[in-house]
Structure 1
């Protein structure tokens, strides 16, 4: 119960990586606000644990983020742990990239992290303890073919983490990014379905193709990302700051 009495907020907390981290924090004693666009899904998830609390919020809408986080802080206290997880992964080759698609990816994956961190940190005092974690991707460290906007957005997240760690150096806040490879989540399911349709192969073959994108040739489990996030929130990681932690089955950068 290391985080008993703390208030955590996880964006995109109703599914996949976000759900795993939110549940892990709740089991560690934190009161966890989970956010997303689908309120029914969030409420169903929140019913699974007494310390999970649903909040409908769009991370690409600054007013939604500011109002939502302010209401969560009023109900459960300052946001001591903030996990900016919400993101979209929609591929598009550079020649066919459109301004609308580009902006949609940036609005969620990059702007959303900025809005979330800024609003969460506004709930904290100057001397307060805090852990700010962004879920980036190995695409934030190297190029990802056929996903230029996604790659750029995730690189931007890492730049933000590095800048924030410098700006708040010496405070009780740390800023870190987790950079997973392909994780067995609904996003991979959707991508596999798209690849299967595009290439005329089975979805199982498409999942195998994605798994080979990880160095150990298998999909990651959400539990691996959860364990890393919980470690970053622990006292043991108090001197880990401004880092991009790769989870991809082997050397990436």
Structure 2
């Protein structure tokens, strides 16, 4: 059963890591996928890989922090496949460290990509989803949206904001038959995450996971398929922890 047959999905930051795993999973489930990424070569390579295996995808270049570029990507995707009925707000830029070491540029970029990007995504897809009769939005949040995190004040703040607009979006968009949910991934090594997390830090995190391993991008992708599909048709405003139990172990 292809659970997303006939759907059109936009995945921000969809060319690498968790975003790419989601893009590929959606394509396997029958969705036509727009892979939105900052670098053309990354977006196009990911789209080509899907197309070569019989899926349907197109690479879309742009910055999730820029409202006009998000709207442009949605319009181009509509020209290719039709109105977007699934949106995954995955794009994020992050740097951990003591708050006093966070520069204005770093803080601004985290907010622009990780929080404003979600809002621009909402605005860009709402009319098309409404016209199509409804849709599903999946935001990538974090356990740190609800837990204290040392040296992650800005990251925690951005992801708490994502959780807030997930819940409020569910309330506001529900009458349009648009569901909004979030995923809180546990420690999941990716190329991007490895830029800010050392091998030693990954091992410390793995040791705290009750299930005994780190996450894999496919773990998050499987959850995204569920939240985008009709299997979760009565689920909205929720945040699904895909973390091997680490959040409740801490709490």
Query: What's the TM-score, normalizing by structure 2?
Result: 0.91
Aligned-partner Cα distance in 2 for 1:164–1:52: 27
Structure 2 equivalent of residue 198 of structure 1: none
- Counterparts of residues 221-232 of structure 1 (less than 5 Å): 221-232=216-227
Structure 2 equivalent of residue 235 of structure 1: 230
Count of residue pairs brought into register by the alignment:
243
Structure 2 equivalent of residue 95 of structure 1: 100
Aligned-partner Cα distance in 2 for 1:100–1:79: 32
Structure 1 equivalent of residue 240 of structure 2: 245
Output the aligned Cα RMSD. Answer: 1.6
Structure 2 equivalent of residue 164 of structure 1: 169
Matched, 1:174 2:179: yes
Structure 2 equivalent of residue 211 of structure 1: 206
- Counterparts of residues 126-205 of structure 1 (less than 5 Å): 128-192=133-197, 195=198, 203=199, 205=200
Q: Deviations over 1:39-87 (max 9, x none)?
A: 1111111111221210001000111111221121122111100000011
Task: Report the 3-state secondary structure (helix = DSSP H, G, I; strand = E; otherwise coil) of the residue aligned with 2:220.
Answer: helix
Query: What's the TM-score, normalizing by structure 1?
Result: 0.90
Q: Normalized per residue, which structure has more helix?
A: 2
Structure 1 equivalent of residue 215 of structure 2: 220
Structure 1 equivalent of residue 35 of structure 2: 34
Contact (CA 8 Å) 1:80, 1:124: kept in 2 or not?
Answer: yes
Task: Report the 3-state secondary structure (helix = DSSP H, G, I; strand = E; otherwise coil) of the residue aligned with 2:194.
Answer: helix
Task: Report the 3-state secondary structure (helix = DSSP H, G, I; strand = E; otherwise coil) of the residue aligned with 1:176.
Answer: strand
Q: Deviations over 1:125-144 (max 9, x none)?
A: 35612000000111112121
Aligned-partner Cα distance in 2 for 1:23–1:232: 15
Going from structure 1 to structure 2, the CA distance change for 1:67 and 1:127 (only over 3 Å counts) comes to closer
Contact (CA 8 Å) 2:145, 2:163: kept in 1 or not?
Answer: yes
Contact (CA 8 Å) 1:127, 1:171: kept in 2 or not?
Answer: no
Contact (CA 8 Å) 2:187, 2:206: kept in 1 or not?
Answer: yes
Shift of 1:215: 4.4
Task: Report the 3-state secondary structure (helix = DSSP H, G, I; strand = E; otherwise coil) of the residue aligned with 2:77.
Answer: helix
Contact (CA 8 Å) 2:17, 2:190: kept in 1 or not?
Answer: yes
| Aligned residue among 113, 117, 120 for 1:112 | 117
Aligned-partner Cα distance in 2 for 1:127–1:27: 22
Going from structure 1 to structure 2, the CA distance change for 1:98 and 1:231 (only over 3 Å counts) comes to same
Contact (CA 8 Å) 1:59, 1:112: kept in 2 or not?
Answer: yes
Shift of 1:148: 1.0
| Aligned residue among 110, 121, 129 for 1:124 | 129
Going from structure 1 to structure 2, the CA distance change for 1:86 and 1:171 (only over 3 Å counts) comes to same
Contact (CA 8 Å) 2:130, 2:176: kept in 1 or not?
Answer: no
Going from structure 1 to structure 2, the CA distance change for 1:75 and 1:127 (only over 3 Å counts) comes to closer
Q: Deviations over 1:115-171 (max 9, x none)?
A: 012101232235612000000111112121101111100000000011111112343
Aligned-partner Cα distance in 2 for 1:242–1:225: 18
